[in-house]
Amino acid sequence: MALNEGDVAPAFTLMRDGGGMVSLADYKGQKLVLYAYPKDDTPGCTQEAIAFNGLRAAFAAAGTAILGISPDPVKSHDKFKAKHKLDFALAADEAQQALQDYGIWVEKSMYGRTYMGVERTTFLINADGKIARIWRKVKVAGHAEEVLAAAQGL
């Protein structure tokens, strides 16, 4: 089931880079950019992560945390984060439960083959835990800046 703006963001607790845990409750009382991406260290995902990372001071000034989520394992997140010097958490949803709860684990197709995967989506969650904005089927160029503008206006 697809989520809509104004819905309560589904709770989750997942393994994160560095071997710890991360949950939606960790961000209670602040805004959160939850961005879902298909795979660590692929061109679009790398560009998106670097763009969010480059704006993290501006997001912090807007009282907004950043959390990336993908089905990749923690070990992959650790390498990706170190390689690109990312300074925000990456959640590992290997069972795809949170991705399903957010309605973004979907059937995709490429070269005539269908498979299940992440639909690149960003959720801006307000300090009360409700979804303020949703960007579906994200095009990476300029996206982080657009999300920052929305966070600053929230």
Q: What is the pLDDT of residues 4-29, one digit of tens each?
A: 999 999 999 999 999 999 999 999 99
Q: What is the value of pTM for the model shown?
A: 0.95
Please tell me the total number of residues recorded for the chain in this structure: 154
Nearest in space to 33 (alpha carbons), one of 7, 1, 68, 3: 68
Residue 45 catalytic?
yes
For residue range 107-123, what is the model confidence (pLDDT) as tens digits? 998 899 999 999 999 99
Catalytic option among 9, 45, 89, 147:
45
Residue 1's pLDDT band (cuts 50, 70, 90): low
Q: Provide the residue type at 146 as one letter.
A: E
User: Is residue 100 predicted with pLDDT exceeding 70?
Assistant: yes
